[in-house]
């Protein structure tokens, strides 16, 4: 029986750190939803969209400083199963960043920070209930690295601690991730819980993005249309929290915070091909003491299982 395997990577973390992990004051989403079932190898393309506003005035007022920012990331990713209990996953992002203020638009694009993570399966239990229903449980733990492959431009950071440092392709730092993923399924209905913690280090410019933790829980149901077609819908919640950034040993006031989002998605598998996506909407948020506001997020993907 194939196992539902979810990663909130911090592979990516996703991650990821990609520009999407930087935006939102370090609380940008790494959420990737429920991955397609796979036993040995998988690779594919993912596209992420994340919008936010920065430099919001007191009480949420829009001022002449308020800036609209959009982060689009396309990433090549893959997963490899080694033996029965080990998995390795990697992600290579390419980002398109754009910000607009008073009719003036600036943009940048390029490769982001590559992430690599490994996982070990602590629990893989199957049992039959009431002589007919199959109960499946799995627990994975892991860790990984985020490599400084994306460009970090110190000129895009203001010289004081009152401005955000979001508009970057990478962080220029080596960061570490810890992950845990638990899944329980009764027949075709299940619940998945994933937690991740990302430890950020200071880059050579003495800037360190705040450590970030996230946890998401979602319920899913698999509809079997035929022997070859499987549709899996899911819905849940995602909570993310980030500490304040540190710039030359001083805390950056307009950074850190938390956000609670509702998530909904769908996965469609046909033979060895899977397509899917998910949508996230902020239910409540307090980013950078209210000076940053996250918009809706979107992720779509196409994956191939070998």
Q: Other C-beta atoms within 10 Å of 99: how many? A: 20
Residue 193 token pair:
């819980």
Task: Give residue 54's pLDDT.
Answer: 85
Going by C-alpha positions, the residue among 216, 217, 230, 227 that lies closest to residue 266 is 230
Task: Give residue 198's pLDDT.
Answer: 94
The residue ranges of every structural domain in the chain are 19-305
Task: Give residue 291's pLDDT.
Answer: 87
Q: What is the pTM of this model?
A: 0.86
Full pLDDT tens readout for the chain, 306 residues = 343 333 333 333 333 334 445 443 344 455 555 655 556 888 999 999 999 988 888 777 888 888 899 999 999 999 999 988 899 999 999 999 999 988 899 999 999 999 999 999 999 999 998 878 899 999 999 999 999 999 999 888 765 555 678 889 999 999 999 999 999 999 999 999 999 999 999 999 999 999 999 999 999 998 988 878 989 999 999 999 999 999 999 998 888 999 999 999 999 988 889 999 999 999 999 998 888 899 999 999 999 988
Task: Give residue 21's pLDDT.
Answer: 53
The CATH H-level (homologous superfamily) assignment of domain 19-305 is Autotransporter beta-domain (2.40.128.130)
CB 264 within 8 A of CB 278: yes
DSSP string, 74-127: EEEEEEEEETTTEEEEEEEEEEEEEEEETTEEEEEEEE---EEEEEEEEEEEEE
Task: Give residue 113's pLDDT.
Answer: 94
Buried b (16+ CB within 10 A) or exposed e, 21-59: bbbbbbbbbbbbbbbbbbeeebebebebbbbbbbbbeee
């Amino acid at each position: 029986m194939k196992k539902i395997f979810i990663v909130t990577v911090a592979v990516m973390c996703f991650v990821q750190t990609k520009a999407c992990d930087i935006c939102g004051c370090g609380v940008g989403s790494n959420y990737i939803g429920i991955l397609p079932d796979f036993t040995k190898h998988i690779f594919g393309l993912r596209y992420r969209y994340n919008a936010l506003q920065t430099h919001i005035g007191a009480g949420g007022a829009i001022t002449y400083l308020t800036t609209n920012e959009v982060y689009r990331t396309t990433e090549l990713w893959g997963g490899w199963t080694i033996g029965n209990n080990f998995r390795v996953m990697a992600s290579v992002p390419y980002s398109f960043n754009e910000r607009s203020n008073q009719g003036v638009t600036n943009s940048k694009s390029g490769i982001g920070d590559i992430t690599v993570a490994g996982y070990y399966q602590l629990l893989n239990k199957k049992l039959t209930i009431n002589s007919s229903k199959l109960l499946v449980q799995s627990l994975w733990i892991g860790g990984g690295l985020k490599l400084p492959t994306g460009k970090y431009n110190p000129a895009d950071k203001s010289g004081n601690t009152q401005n955000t440092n979001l508009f970057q392709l990478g962080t220029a730092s080596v960061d570490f991730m810890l992950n845990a993923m638990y899944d329980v399924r009764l027949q075709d209905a299940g619940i998945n819980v994933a937690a991740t913690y990302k430890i950020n280090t200071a880059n050579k410019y003495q800037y360190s993005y705040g450590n970030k933790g996230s946890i998401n829980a979602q319920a899913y149901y698999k509809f079997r249309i035929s022997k070859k077609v499987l549709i899996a819908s899911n819905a849940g919640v995602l909570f993310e929290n980030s500490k304040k950034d540190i710039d030359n040993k001083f805390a950056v006031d307009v950074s850190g915070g938390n956000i609670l989002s509702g998530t909904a998605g769908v996965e469609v598998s046909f033979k060895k091909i899977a397509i899917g996506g998910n949508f996230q909407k902020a239910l409540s948020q307090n980013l950078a003491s209210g000076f940053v506001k996250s918009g809706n997020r979107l992720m779509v993907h196409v994956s191939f299982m070998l």
